[in-house]
């Protein structure tokens, strides 16, 4: 380590050289300059780590030298040794990054203390630089995807846990002395739509950012490691084995780093400390479930460590008819009312978990697909259906990770509005729809058909079909279907090779007695009597 003494008085420089324990502080070379400019030249040429300077010197005084060092060599530690007890000089020293201000004549203890502080500061920075360099080298050396694969297998049922731990130690430098660890989980699925939109075409950058922030905390001091869960790509998993700091404190530091970087207050699920590597998967499962079973309807904390008992599920299908009729109405007022009805049912639960929100999204997608598939024959291809499929599937969270009912309502209204446009196209031929239903019955009479089936297939309510069908054909839909079936049966009965039970089944009746009853009611004679009558002609 090099030290530069800048003072225009040679005897002062010599005194300073005699008063300090240079060897004890690791100083191997002492440089001298008789003014500030000479000091600048030596700093450029010799790169000393510490500069001790007087304040009053020719050519360039101490204040200018301090300013130059701060601008050009900010890592150099500076100590002022001056004969002037001047407040302005002291203040300038502090502003310029000086570590100490010692008055002449120099006290050996004060000089030793100032030198010790400077050396200690250099050592800390050198160590920090070394750790940062080592961390960067480790991150660069680790083959990210391979590391993620090994770590993903470690928290799943794949592979030998001991062998996976050995590979992680040998190839990626995991500590040998890990005996237990806790798993923690961050899910990008539970981030808000605004943030996800920023990373829409750069989702890998979002994962990298989160992992990098986590590992800045974990890899420093070998506290743990964060990785991308390849089997569940929306998750970042943390394995934390450090015992010197409480788990919550470590996760809080990580959460603060993410907030500083992304400006988001994330939620984290954490599992109990379990033996490593055999029970790491169990800790992960607990962390995953705790995060997904948290109450998203209120902010009662950011760290989730327990899994509450699941509540009685609420199914979206219970509101399907209300949603469908609202979409068919094309009325924004009806659409809004239908969504409000659903929201009221959810609020009565008292608790809403991210897992439930995901399940309802899945049910919603399935429901819309059924609507679209059933009406595909009359649907016009193009942007409307594509737009429906492209609607956001993110959870309706705000930046604090809380369920936003206004956002959720907006999402559902958007889906219903898109569905309404398509269904309106499919059913704009209302004057012909009842004839379409009759045509369908005439071609599918052998199937088990109910009024509810017709309502679902043609996106109309049962009451509407029943009323309009009778208006159009002066007969209700069940009697119309029975008439079609009996007409078909009369043709089949002309074939003597077919038994009555076979004819009944071929026209949609599984019960021969019921078939005979319906036949007699409509024709005034039984199927067997009809057959004999036709055969005698």
Fold of 142-304: Alpha-Beta Plaits (3.30.70)
CATH number, span 430-535: 1.10.10.60
What pLDDT, on the 0 to 100 scale, is given for residue 380? 43
Q: Which of 283, 253, 285 is nearest to 266 (CA)?
A: 253
288 three-class SS: helix
pLDDT of residue 223: 92
pLDDT at res. 489: 92
Q: Is the peptide bond before 137 cis (omega within 30 degrees of 0)?
A: no
Separation CA 513–CA 518 (nearest Å): 9
Locate all alpha helices (DSSP H) within 348-449, ordered by sequence: 354-374, 383-389, 405-426, 430-443
Burial of 339 (0-12, 13-18, 19+ CB in 10 A): buried
HEC per residue, 69-116: HHHHCCCCEEEEEECCCCHHHHHHHHHCCCCEEEECCCCHHHHHHHHH
Measured distance CA(218)–CA(215) in Å, rounded: 5
Instruction: Return the SS3 of 274.
Output: strand
Say which CATH superfamily domain 2-135 falls into: Response regulator (3.40.50.2300)
pLDDT score at 334: 92
Give every residue of the chain whose pLDDT is below 50, as ranges: 142, 376-384, 386-387, 389-391, 429-431
259-to-200, 233, 322, 446, 469 alpha-carbon distances in Å? 19, 21, 41, 64, 61
Global confidence as pTM: 0.54
- Return the pLDDT at 143: 62
Query: In which residue are the tokens 């990626």 written?
Result: 172
pLDDT of residue 454: 84
5-6-8 Cα angle (round to 5)? 130
Tokens 């297998």 map to which residue? 153
Q: Which of 24, 22, 64 is nearest to 40 (CA)?
A: 64
């Amino acid at each position: 380590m090099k030290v530069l003494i800048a003072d225009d008085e040679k005897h002062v420089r010599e005194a300073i050289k005699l008063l300090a324990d240079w060897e004890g502080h690791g100083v191997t070379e002492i440089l001298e300059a008789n003014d500030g400019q000479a000091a600048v030249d030596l700093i450029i040429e010799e790169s000393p780590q510490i500069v001790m300077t007087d304040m009053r010197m020719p050519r360039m005084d101490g204040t200018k030298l301090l300013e130059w060092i701060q601008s050009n060599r900010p890592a150099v530690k500076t100590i002022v040794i001056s004969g002037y007890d001047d407040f302005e000089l002291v203040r300038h020293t502090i502003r310029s990054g000086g570590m100490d201000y010692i008055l002449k004549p120099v006290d050996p203890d004060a000089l030793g203390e100032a030198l010790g502080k400077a050396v200690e500061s250099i050592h800390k920075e050198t160590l920090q630089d070394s750790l940062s360099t080592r961390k960067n080298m480790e991150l660069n050396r680790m083959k990210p995807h391979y590391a993620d694969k090994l770590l993903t297998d470690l928290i799943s049922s794949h592979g030998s846990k001991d062998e996976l731990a050995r590979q992680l130690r040998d190839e990626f430098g995991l500590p040998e002395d890990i005996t237990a660890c806790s798993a923690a989980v961050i899910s990008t699925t539970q981030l808000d739509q605004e943030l996800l939109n920023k990373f829409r075409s750069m989702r890998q950058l979002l994962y990298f950012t989160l992992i990098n922030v986590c590992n800045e905390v974990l890899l420093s001091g070998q506290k743990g490691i964060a990785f991308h869960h390849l089997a569940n790509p929306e998750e970042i998993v943390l394995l934390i084995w450090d015992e010197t700091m409480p788990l919550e404190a470590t996760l809080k530091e990580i959460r603060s780093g993410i907030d500083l970087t992304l400006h988001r207050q994330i939620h984290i699920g954490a599992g109990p400390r379990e033996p490593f590597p055999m029970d790491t998967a169990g800790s992960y499962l607990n962390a995953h479930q705790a995060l997904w079973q948290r109450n998203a309807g209120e902010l009662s904390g950011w760290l989730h460590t327990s899994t509450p008992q699941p509540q009685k599920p609420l199914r979206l299908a219970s509101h399907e008819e209300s949603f469908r009729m609202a979409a068919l109405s094309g009325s924004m007022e009806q659409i809004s009312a239908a969504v409000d009805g659903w929201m009221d049912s959810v609020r009565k639960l008292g608790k809403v978990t991210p897992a439930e929100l995901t399940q309802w999204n899945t049910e919603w997608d399935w429901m819309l697909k059924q609507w679209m598939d059933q009406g595909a024959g009359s649907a016009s291809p193009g942007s409307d259906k594509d737009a429906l499929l492209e609607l956001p599937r993110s959870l309706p969270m705000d930046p604090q990770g809380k369920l936003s009912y206004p956002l959720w309502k907006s999402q559902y209204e958007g889906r219903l509005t898109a569905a309404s446009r398509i269904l309106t196209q499919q059913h704009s031929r209302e004057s012909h729809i009842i004839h379409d239903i009759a045509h369908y019955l005439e071609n599918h009479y052998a199937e088990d058909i109910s009024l509810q089936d017709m309502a679902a297939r043609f996106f109309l309510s049962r009451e509407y079909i029943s009323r309009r069908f009778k208006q159009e054909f002066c007969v209700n839909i069940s009697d119309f279907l029975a008439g079609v079936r009996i007409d078909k049966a009369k043709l089949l009965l002309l074939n003597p090779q077919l038994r009555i039970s076979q004819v009944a089944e071929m026209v949609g009746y599984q019960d021969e007695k019921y078939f005979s009853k319906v036949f007699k009611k409509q024709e005034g004679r039984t199927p067997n009597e009809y057959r004999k009558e036709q055969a005698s002609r």
